[in-house]
Amino acid sequence: MNAHMKFKKVFVGLVAAGVLALSANAQAVTLDAGIFGSNPGDLGTASNPVILNVNPADSGLFLDTINFDLGSWTHFNMTSTVNSIQLFGVPIFENNGDTEVVAPSANHFSVFLADLGLPRDYHLHPQGAGQSGSTYQVALWGSTAPVPVPAAVWLFGSGLVGLVGLARRKMRTAA
């Protein structure tokens, strides 16, 4: 019984030390990107994105929270610029149950996000490890339709195959 109690005390002490070690390196910042506008001149569009500059004070893990609502838009876009950060990722969570809906990525393009009917439907958690003085910037905006990148790739590929076929045919007739 005494050994069991000693094990519990050691285990609780290790957990507490781990929590303290993580809290010393975590610089959490809560930011509000607002509701993205529905007109091209409003904030939160491709022509006028919401730009957030964040400067985590010290090195280590940071897990910031950026709340946002797409408004009348259906798809979410984000680009990031990082300085002195070794690893950087941004997962997207819904504010209804804090469930991760999009895996971490340094950039997001044409991600469909449903309207949850909340004041702020979703939030981002930019996270990573950096050095002292590391900073990052995210640009957020909404769009109404996904960009058909896979279709463009198929079209370009088939055109390239056609050109190769024409070149081979021309080479055969010349020989």
Q: Look up tokens 């985590």; give the residue.
A: 56
pLDDT, position 129: 84
Instruction: Residue 102: name the closest of 87, 123, 128, 73 by CA.
Output: 123
Nearest CA to 119 out of 50, 58, 33, 48 is that of 33
Contacts of residue 135, defined as CB under 8 A and 6 or more positions apart, other chains included, come to 53, 54, 55, 56, 82, 83, 84
Instruction: Specify the length of the chain in residues.
Output: 175
Tens of pLDDT, residue by residue, the chain (175 residues): 576 666 666 555 555 555 444 444 445 678 888 888 877 677 788 788 999 998 876 556 788 899 999 988 899 999 999 988 888 999 999 998 889 999 999 999 999 999 999 999 999 999 888 877 788 999 999 988 765 566 777 788 888 898 898 888 888 888 7
What lies within 8 Å, CB to CB, of 105 at 6+ separation is 89, 90
pLDDT value of position 63: 82
Residue 25 confidence (pLDDT): 44
100-119: string of b/e by CB count within 10 Å (b at 16+)? eebebebebeebebeeeeee
pLDDT at 84: 86
* pLDDT at residue 143, as a whole number: 87
Residue 106: per-residue pLDDT: 92
> What fold does the segment set 26-167 form as a domain?
Jelly Rolls (2.60.120)
Give the predicted TM-score (pTM) of the model. Answer: 0.66
Q: Which helix (H) or strand (E) holds 32?
A: strand 30-35
